[in-house]
Structure 1
Amino acid sequence: MQLKLNNSKVLKLALASATTLLFLAPTLGVKALSNSEQNGTKIRDSFLVAQANCPTRRSTVDRTFETPNYYVTICSGDARNSLGYYVGAAKDGSGGITVPLTRRSGDRYIAANGNTIYAITPYELRVSQNGRTILNERILAASGDDTVVTRGCRNRESTFVTAETASYVISICGGNFPGTYIGESKNGSGRIRLPLQRYERDRYVAVNGNTRYILTPNELRVTQNGQTILRETIRNWN
């Protein structure tokens, strides 16, 4: 797909950064947002802007996502591409890109633009080029069917911990005290919700049959029949 750049100034900026180039072409009518709008905008409010960016009138908004720096819209299919479209737009209004989807699998959407692959789930946006990840951002919010979907703890629950590894997002939820372990795979393949067996300081343990989930600020470790089957370092702990 050939991409058009707004002007020579944008061209110079795009050439200065290969990563930025992915989202600086083309603008597709994306509205520039002021600082106050950026800070206060909810993903539900972006539906009208997102709808304007779907490539045809028959292509409507299926899902919208927000990362720290981008809005992403998944548009429904049309006669040109039955799977639909991936529409990415920079929050600073500098540009956007529309790419046909090549795969939809549950909450995972994949689009390809030459050797550049865009993959988005309710947990992360990952862009790779020639098999190498060049951009990875967590999802701040996601919506579908005009209903905001929040990951992790339920609306009426307290969130005690949110942790992130290379492959998972883990939440410790409860009321007045921690009571629930929630593990979600970033690729959208699975989610588990378990009562905590015990917790002490920053160590949380949940059990599902002979499988044990142990979360600390340093690592997520999963054991089965006493044998470690997964161990990943904690990247973020909040």
Structure 2
Amino acid sequence: MKFLQFRLYHKGSLKLAFVSLNCLLFFSPFAKIQAQIIKESTSVNNFNYSFIQLTKKQVCPSAQLLPKRIFETAKYYVYICRGDEKNSLGYYVQIYKNSSSKIIIPVSNQVGEAYFAKNTGVIYTVTPYELVVTKLTKRSSVVLREKVNSAIAADGQSLVKGCPEGNTSFVEAATKNYIVYICGRETPDTYIAVTKNGTNIITLPLQLNYNSSAKAEDSEYVAIKGKTRYLLNRKMLKVSREGRNLVKEKILYWY
């Protein structure tokens, strides 16, 4: 009888092991797929993930004043925190990545997505495209200018207006007041100019006779709208109408 019980118990154990093995084999591919979905989701929602990670630490003047914007450059994080009764426009918080030293200043002005903060003769300006620190003297001088690598809102959405999805950014150039993108799929075909505060954007087809040289410094792109001509090269952005310059600005950086 004991031998029979042992065989029945052993047989039941084998069945249970077989069922467990089948479940494992069934769920393993599912687990892999699920892990891949999570991985892809994290990649697609990179801005959301970054915002969650960066807001885990209290960076604003109080826990009630949560960040509504986060800008990241190579060396800094800049947070724009919500305002209160004392400072309705909010607070500018700049953190140096290497030392975590922090600057907190009330926002003094906002134009579109450009935020300005002033402190003892220095103006801090951050937009979705760059961070600029200017020292106010007899001749104002820029003491820091850094390209913003990511700019996100409280909902995790990007604030940057660049090339359309599916397009390649062949050129990204910055002047004092504009960011210009040369976009396209296989070849450059679109001119996009954005004011740094994000309030205005113009999108035009490139003229077919533009000069896109193998050497970036020799490339020149032209777009036309009515009587207005938009010209971009490595040295300048020029907007003219009937021979009269409306905009002529030096290129500060070219990617």
Normalised by the size of structure 1, how large is the TM-score? 0.75
Give the residue type in structure 2 aligned to 1:143.
I
CA contact (8 A) 1:121 1:187 kept: yes
**SS of residue matched to 2:131:** strand
**Greater shift after overlay, 210-219 or 126-135?**
126-135
Distance 1:207 1:216 in 2: 15
Q: Work out the CA distance in 2 between the residues paired with 1:111 and 1:47.
A: 25
Q: Is 2:210 the counterpart of 1:205? A: no
How far did residue 82 of structure 1 move?
1.5
What is the CA distance between 1:189 and its match in structure 2?
Answer: 4.7
- Judged with a 3 Å threshold, the aligned counterparts in structure 2 of structure 1 residues 212 and 111 are, in CA distance, closer, same or farther, namely same
SS of 2:54's partner is helix
Q: Percent identity?
A: 39
Match of 2:246 in 1: 229
How far apart are the structure 2 equivalents of 1:109 and 1:228? 29
Distance 1:232 1:80 in 2: 38
Aligned-partner residue type, residue 172 of structure 1? I
* Structure with bigger gyration radius: 2
Q: 1:176 aligns with which of 181, 186, 198?
A: 186
Please tell me whether the aligned partners of residues 197 and 205 of structure 1 are also in contact (alpha carbons under 8 angstroms). yes
Kindly provide the CA deviation profile for residues 151-174 of structure 1, in whole angstroms up to 9, marking residues without a partner as x.
321232111111222332211001
> Residue 149 of structure 1 is aligned with which of 159, 171, 194?
159
2:201 corresponds to 1:196: no
Check if 1:138 corresponds to 2:165: no
- Cα distance in structure 1, aligned partners of 2:162 and 2:63: 34
Normalised by the length of structure 2, the TM-score is 0.70
Q: Deviations over 1:115-156 (max 9, x none)?
A: 222111112211122243221212111011211233321232
The structure richer in helix per residue is 2
5 Å matches for 1:9-24?
none
Q: How does 1:101-140 map to 2 (within 5 A)?
A: 101-130=107-136, 131-140=140-149
Distance in 2 of aligned mates of 1:207 and 1:64: 35
1:160 pairs with 2:166: no
CA RMSD, 1 decimal: 2.0
More strand by percentage? 1
Give ranges in structure 1 of 5+ residues lacking alignment: 1-41
**Displaced runs of 4+ in structure 1, greater than 4 A?**
none
The separation in 2 between residues aligned to 1:61 and 1:133, in whole angstroms, is: 26
Separation in structure 2 between the aligned mates of residue 91 and residue 43 of structure 1, nearest angstrom: 18
